[in-house]
């Protein structure tokens, strides 16, 4: 999963550079948080991390990811409303 996400992020960055658009936005932040959460979970499989630390980090990153999903959906909803009002 992490490899697929890394390849996807690289492809999106390449596309954005090629089309001269802003590289870092809400979707890139969301992808980075999900990647960080995935990599931390993989690391937890190899290293015995304390349960409390693992639950705080993965739970916190999951909440941040959920928040970004809500913000992205809300922005899309606002954009659609704006387009429909024109």
Give residue-wise pLDDT tens across range 10-25: 888 888 888 888 888 8
- The whole-number pLDDT of residue 86 equals 65
Better-scored residue on pLDDT, 4 or 1: 4
pLDDT tens readout for residues 17-64: 888 888 888 878 888 888 888 888 888 888 887 888 888 888 888 888
Give the residue extent of every domain in the chain: 2-85
Q: How far apart are CA 33 and CA 61, in angstroms?
A: 6
Q: Model pTM greater than 0.85?
A: no
Q: How far apart are CA 70 and CA 76, in angstroms?
A: 10
């Amino acid at each position: 999963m992490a490899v697929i996400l890394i390849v996807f992020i690289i492809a999106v960055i390449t596309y954005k550079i090629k089309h001269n658009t802003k590289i870092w936005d809400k979707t890139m932040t969301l992808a980075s948080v999900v990647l960080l959460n995935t990599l931390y979970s993989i690391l937890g499989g190899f290293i015995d991390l304390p349960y409390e630390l693992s639950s705080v980090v993965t739970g916190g990153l999951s909440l941040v990811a959920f928040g970004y999903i809500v913000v992205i959906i809300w922005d899309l909803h606002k954009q659609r409303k704006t387009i429909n009002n024109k």
